[in-house]
Amino acid sequence: MIKFNNKSILSAALWIVIQCMSTNLHAQKNDPRDKEPGFWELLFDDLFDHYEEHPIQNKFEDNYRVIDLEKQWKFQIGNDTRWASPSYNDESWVDIKVPGDWENDGFHGYDGFAWYRVHFDGRALRSNEAHYLKLGFIDDVDETFLNGYLVGKTGDFPPRFRTGYNSDRTYFIGNELINFEGDNVIAVKVYDEYQKGGIVKGKPGIYVSGGSEDLLQNLYGPWKFSKSNKRIFSEPDFDDENWDVVLVPSYWDNQGYRSLDGTAWYRKTFELSFTPKSGEKYYLTLGRIDDFDETYLNGQKIGETDDGGDFGQSQSYQTVRIYPIPKGLLNKRGKNTIAVKVIDIGLEGGIYSGPVGIVSENDVTRMIRDRR
């Protein structure tokens, strides 16, 4: 994610947006992505290069790769739901290099559905950490499975096609889906509408969220989500049964809310997986949030971050949220509810990077130092 810190850079950015809009309006008469002569592709190539050259700006800077998936994967043209299964035998499939577009790897001119599969050894991972599958940029649409379970999707397949080729895929994978004792299978269903196709660019791998190993209570994974805004949403007994479900941490733009700027709410109800000690202090960490937040635990406001800056000036999105939990507020037996009001003032929005959970005072100092 890129934010701009002075008027000259912001002006240049606005000029790019205007050019993008005019180019896209013209392109819609022919092809919705205008991949020739390649304006969008060149633009996102530049952005990706910026992330690599300036890692402090990289939105995945707190994650580190523990399993390298830049290698040969198995590949098959077509579409069969059985191919998501970890028990499916893919030995007859061809090998293909990942990342790389299939047009330049023997499949020139092919547009349509194809599947990728790869195995990894779960013994390289630790069950006390939070893990992500990062695939990079996929042209155009994907559904991604781990051991037969859907863990992420970007874009829309036909007949309501919507490309996701400019999104850097990063999908949280719950530890309950990982076989820490041996073989695991990743299967990726890809649809390409036009020209280049496949897992085309990035640093694919299994990543660990930095700081997750220090959490007493891991709060990664599914949260309830609403783009409405009512004060009652902060109350612990509010019924959020009919709310949508999103994965945290991850931009809401990559989970079906691409055009959402403004206010939305997250809620998470859980029981403690540890026993609080009477003389110990605890903190709730929500990682980084784009842009502003008000955070409630069991109906009580415990923190907020809002530097008051406008779009292009605010730095709140870079602040790691670590809020002290008032003594006695956690329910040792029974349910606890976190409610987070998030205000996005432009570009991506939401709780987008970890660590997310509850940490003791003994570990919070190191966590703050490492995340700043």
341 and 239 in one domain? yes
pTM attached to this predicted model = 0.69
Tell which of 209, 234, 256 closes a domain.
209
Question: By C-alpha distance, which of 330, 301, 360, 288 is closest to 1?
Answer: 288
87 and 113 in one domain? yes
* Lowest-confidence pick of 43-52, 111-120, 191-200, 210-219: 43-52
Q: At what angle are helices 7-27 and 39-53 packed, to 10 degrees?
A: 150
Q: What is the pLDDT of residue 51?
A: 32
Confidence of residue 209 (pLDDT cuts 50, 70, 90): confident
Tell which of 175, 209, 243 closes a domain.
209
- Which amino acid would we find at residue 73? W
Tens of pLDDT along 247-296? 898 899 878 898 899 999 999 999 999 999 988 999 999 999 999 999 99
Calpha distance 37→34 (Å, rounded):
7
With tokens 């009580």, the residue in question is: 300
CA distance readout (Å), 201 to 44, 135, 303: 11, 8, 39
Calpha distance 138→100 (Å, rounded):
10
Residue 270 forms part of a structural domain: yes
Give me the percent of the chain exceeding a pLDDT of 70. 82
Q: What is the pLDDT of residue 62?
A: 62
218 and 352 in one domain? yes
Q: What is the pLDDT of residue 247?
A: 85
For residue 51, the enclosing domain spans: 7-57
362 and 228 in one domain? yes
Residue 139 forms part of a structural domain: yes
Calpha distance 108→105 (Å, rounded):
7
Q: Counting beta carbons within 10 angstroms of the beta carbon of residue 154, is it exposed (0 to 12), middle (13 to 18) or buried (19 or more)?
A: buried
What is the total count of domains within the chain?
3
Q: What is the pLDDT of residue 64?
A: 87
217 and 92 in one domain? no
Tell which of 172, 189, 209 closes a domain.
209
55 vs 305, which has greater pLDDT? 305
113-134 average pLDDT score = 94
Residue 40 forms part of a structural domain: yes
DSSP one-letter string for 3-61: ---SHHHHHHHHHHHHHHHHHHHHHTTT-TT-TTTTHHHHHHHHHHHHHHH-GGG-TTT
261 and 139 in one domain? no
Residue 1 forms part of a structural domain: no
Residue 103 forms part of a structural domain: yes
19 and 69 in one domain? no
The answer to whether 212 and 367 have CB atoms below 8 angstroms apart is no
Question: By C-alpha distance, which of 154, 355, 140 is closest to 257?
Answer: 154
Q: Which residues contact 222 (CB under 8 A, 6 or more apart)?
A: 245, 246, 247, 248
Residue 41 forms part of a structural domain: yes
Tens of pLDDT along 15-59? 444 444 433 433 332 333 334 434 433 433 443 333 333 232 234
249 and 350 in one domain? yes
Q: What is the pLDDT of residue 369?
A: 66
The answer to whether 202 and 348 have CB atoms below 8 angstroms apart is no
Mean pLDDT of the chain: 84
241 and 202 in one domain? no
161 and 102 in one domain? yes
* Lowest-confidence pick of 17-26, 138-147, 168-177: 17-26
Q: Is 202 left (phi over 0), alpha (psi -120 to 50) or beta?
A: left
